[in-house]
Amino acid sequence: MIRCHITDRRAAGGAGALLALIERNARLGVQWIQIREKDLDPPSLSMLVEQAVRRAAGARILVNSRADIALACGAAGLHLPADSPPPSAWRPICPPGFLIGVSCHSPEEVLDAARQGADYALFCPVFRPLSKDDPRPPHGLEALRRACASVRIPVLALGGITAENAALCLEAGAAGVAGITMFQSSQTAFHTLV
């Protein structure tokens, strides 16, 4: 199962506290850490990504939206919002093995992401998000099941994921789970996930 920590430095208590969480989570077996700090200016984001790459031994650092920073800082991948240019547009400038994923909000978007060359998709929201207000209604497990069945790339469940409902997402076909709250909590229940 892929576990993906999506960062929120403000909720973590600042950049230093976030880096400590990144280091802890990598040590506990989180495979992917998506740096999603949309409000940081490029120099600050670059510094955060460089430090995360150094401190997250064993985890792959993915950068939200910024291919330039991901590539310059030695990150392992790029995560694209749903309205971004497709993964195929980025492939020519990326090294072999560089992950490109896409946020998807319907089974159809997951299928389109796979057709456009995505390595993985985040399907959201499965449940009501824990870290923010989201006006979109949760899709639920049946839509997650349809999304996962439609593609061969890994689909990760996002939105309201807890240690308690993660198993339901896996049963629906998800290759893993992603989230902010579950991975930034002082509790480390996520590491007990199979």
Written as six digits, the tokens of 17 are 């506290």
At residue 193, the pLDDT reads 59
Determine contact, residues 175/1, Cβ cutoff 8 Å.
yes
DSSP symbols for 42-83 = HHHHHHHHHHHHHH-TTSEEEEES-HHHHHHTT-SEEEE-TT
Domain ranges of the chain: 2-192
The CATH number that domain 2-192 falls under is: 3.20.20.70
Short-list 84, 63, 178, CA closest to 129: 178
Q: What is the pLDDT of residue 99?
A: 98
| pLDDT for the residue 192 | 57
Phi, psi of 70 (to 5 degrees): -60, -45
- Which of 24, 28, 29, 79 is closest to 52 using CA atoms? 24
What's the pLDDT at 194? Answer: 45
> Could you say which residues of the chain have pLDDT below 50?
194
Taking a C-beta distance cutoff of 8 angstroms, is the pair 189, 16 a contact? Answer: no
Whole-number pLDDT of residue 137: 86
